A and B are shown apart, each in its own frame.
Chain A
Amino acid sequence: DAGVIQSPRHEVTEMGQEVTLRCKPISGHNSLFWYRQTMMRGLELLIYFNNNVPIDDSGMPEDRFSAKMPNASFSTLKIQPSEPRDSAVYFCASSLLQDNTEAFFGQGTRLTVV
């Protein structure tokens, strides 16, 4: 398996624009997580899905952020409108929804909002 695949790897956008980050989990995994990493706040869990259903989105910072998982092999994280403080690395991770298992991370998307 190719692992968790995220796209794009880098995104530079202007403030106010819509940004969509994409994630393809490992085939067969049924839990998916979106994390944000910044120097100031470290790794923050934004939202996670089990079997394509959002379970906990309490980490989503504002209504400008939304995430979807229309099927088991694809998820998006959207920011609309984007702001400079959204600049961060966004990681997607996936795992099996079963006891005693670890999460596998994608390469991340480095987002810069100017």
Chain B
Amino acid sequence: AQSVSQHNHHVILSEAASLELGCNYSYGGTVNLFWYVQYPGQHLQLLLKYFSGDPLVKGIKGFEAEFIKSKFSFNLRKPSVQWSDTAEYFCAVNNNNAGNMLTFGGGTRLMVKP
């Protein structure tokens, strides 16, 4: 079975601060990795995804994530956050052997102070 852990449940930053949200997964085989964002009152939207190739993935709105296979990690980063980045961020994993069943981490609530 696959599982995902997000270690930071709540993060508060000031604008222009750098962001790194941790994500670790457990699954022994090949995985696909995702970060979704949920703005207040809205549905989940895809931020970025990793399937294969370059382990450093660029997403929308200046976000990036790095897949480190040896650490089973897929941390999300942004060099300078904005107030509009206030949202909840979910790391997720699926694998091609499980019918694309997507397993989510517990989420990290980010608040950016103006």
Asked if A and B are interacting partners, one says yes
Residues of A within 8 A of B (CB): 31, 33, 35, 42-43, 45, 48, 50, 55-56, 91, 93, 95-97, 99-108
What's the dominant secondary structure at chain B's contact region? Answer: loop
The answer to whether B44 touches A105, judged by C-beta atoms less than 8 angstroms apart, is: yes
- CB-defined contacts of A31 to chain B, threshold 8 Å: 99-100
A-B contacts at CB below 8 angstroms, number? 53
Residues of B within 8 A of A (CB): 32, 34, 36, 42-46, 49, 51-52, 90, 96, 99-107
Among the listed B43, B49, B100, B104, which residue makes an inter-chain contact with A108, where contact means beta carbons less than 8 Å apart? B43
A49 to chain B, nearest CB (A): 9
The answer to whether A42 touches B44, judged by C-beta atoms less than 8 angstroms apart, is: no
- CB-defined contacts of B45 to chain A, threshold 8 Å: 105
The answer to whether A45 touches B44, judged by C-beta atoms less than 8 angstroms apart, is: no
- A96 and B49 CA atoms in complex are apart in Å by 15
The answer to whether B107 touches A102, judged by C-beta atoms less than 8 angstroms apart, is: no
The answer to whether A102 touches B49, judged by C-beta atoms less than 8 angstroms apart, is: yes
Given contacts A42-B104, A43-B107, A105-B44, A50 and B99 within 8 Å (CB-CB)? yes
A83 to chain B, nearest CB (A): 24
Query: Closest 10 interchain pairs by CB?
Result: A100-B51, A43-B104, A105-B44, A99-B96, A42-B106, A105-B43, A107-B43, A50-B99, A31-B100, A103-B102
Q: Which residue of B lies closest to A56 (CB)?
A: B101
- CB-defined contacts of B34 to chain A, threshold 8 Å: 102
